[in-house]
Amino acid sequence: MSPRKRTLVPVSSRRKAADDYFPFNLLPVECQLHVLSFLNEVDKCSCALVCASWSCLVRSWKLWRVADYSRRVGFHLGQEGLLVSNREFERWKSWVQHYTYHLISRRASLLTLRASFDLGDRCNKWGELLSHLLDNVHCRDLSHLDLNWTFTLLEPLDLRVHSSPSSHQDNITKMDKVTRFQELLSKLTQNCPRISKMRLHFDWSDLSVSLLTQFQQLRVLELKYFWVFKCVTPSTLQMLIKSLPNLKSLTLNILVPLRNLGISYTLESQSLEFLDVSPSRGLVFSCLKLPALRELRAKKIVLRVTLDRRTRTRIQSRWPCLYHVLREGTPKLQALNNERLLPTWREKSYGELTAILEQSCYCVQHLDSWLW
């Protein structure tokens, strides 16, 4: 059987098709880099195999702006860490090492760093890995930090040390985590002073607070809960917020111990526009001086401790009503707990806000039952 003959295309048609084709390599280099910037890491590496010119493009530091260690790579899990075998975890650790080497060899210029590592892990030394990365890439322009330093992604359950939360060994482990976190935070203050968005667990020790105040470009800050050495004092919280002049958004997760019930906090900031304290427990404000605040989220979380009426009244009498605190200190407030406020809410009684206040206020009028 004779081979099938190809249909002949007129020369004029072929010339027209060639004229409609615009070679990618004729674009300016900046345009080529911009196009390739939309690809993920795997696709970028595949493009490097196309030709020598593309390989040179992919090596540009401008294409490596994100270091994301929080990805599962090829794993698809229903719950973090529960279905991973030791073999898969070793494979993931190998990927972490190769990924770090890849970023360093590409002379990455990072804008974003995401990671989830247990910094108290003495075996894998995740803190040293992150420090090595920061020392060998360009991170002066790093603007977004999302760091979970209490948990290693994909770590199998049988590799974790289980002990009672009140045990001496558990306290030592947590102190190791805090020590290494403070070392890493200190390095970030030196190498990455332009961070504007930060999300991490926080121990509220004096050293950590002092280091955090050095990030003067912070605009968005989310501090999650971590085991603390002492209570977060009102002066500590106030000092931290006043030391961040560009802060626009703040999310706090603070647990006020039972022995400190009755303590109230003052918050003062000229720049803060969004405040979310709904994850906190027992956090009460006696004074807010937030002239730019537009939205507040606060939730009253009741603890399971029964107090007699006399003790309850004595504690609650120290707390002002949230309505009066907001009326006096937040002139631009427009939303409370995702509810839009009327422009005249300050001029009327708080009857229209009763439902919201009962969910947020700890004063005597809005807290009838005490199952703390």
Is residue 194 within a helix (H) or strand (E), and if so which, with residue range?
none
Q: Inform me whether the pLDDT recorded for 79 exceeds 70.
A: no
Q: Which of 323, 319, 247 shows the shortest CA–CA distance to 285?
A: 319
Single-letter residue type at 307: L
Highest mean pLDDT among 95-109, 121-135, 226-240, 345-359: 121-135
How many helices (H) and strands (E) the chain has is answered by 12, 12
What is the C-alpha to C-alpha distance for residues 166 and 288, in angstroms, rounded to an integer? 36
Q: Say what the pLDDT of residue 4 is.
A: 57
Confidence band, pLDDT 50/70/90 cuts, at residue 128:
very high
Eight-class DSSP state of 4: P
Least confident of 9-18, 190-199, 348-357: 9-18
Confidence band, pLDDT 50/70/90 cuts, at residue 247:
very high
pLDDT tens string 208-224: 999 999 999 999 999 99
Q: Say what the pLDDT of residue 89 is.
A: 87
Q: Identify each DSSP E strand in the chain by its residue range.
A: 66-68, 112-116, 144-148, 197-202, 220-225, 249-252, 265-268, 274-276, 285-289, 295-297, 335-336, 339-340
Least confident of 1-5, 33-37, 107-111, 348-352: 1-5
Q: Higher pLDDT residue, 2 or 230?
A: 230
What is the C-alpha to C-alpha distance for residues 329 and 267, in angstroms, rounded to an integer? 10
Q: Inform me whether the pLDDT recorded for 372 exceeds 50.
A: no
Q: Which residues contact 31 (CB under 8 A, 6 or more apart)?
A: none
Q: Say what the pLDDT of residue 194 is.
A: 96
Cα Dmax for the chain:
104
Q: Say what the pLDDT of residue 9 is.
A: 52
Q: Which tokens in the block code for residue 17?
A: 């098709």
Q: Say what the pLDDT of residue 161 is.
A: 47
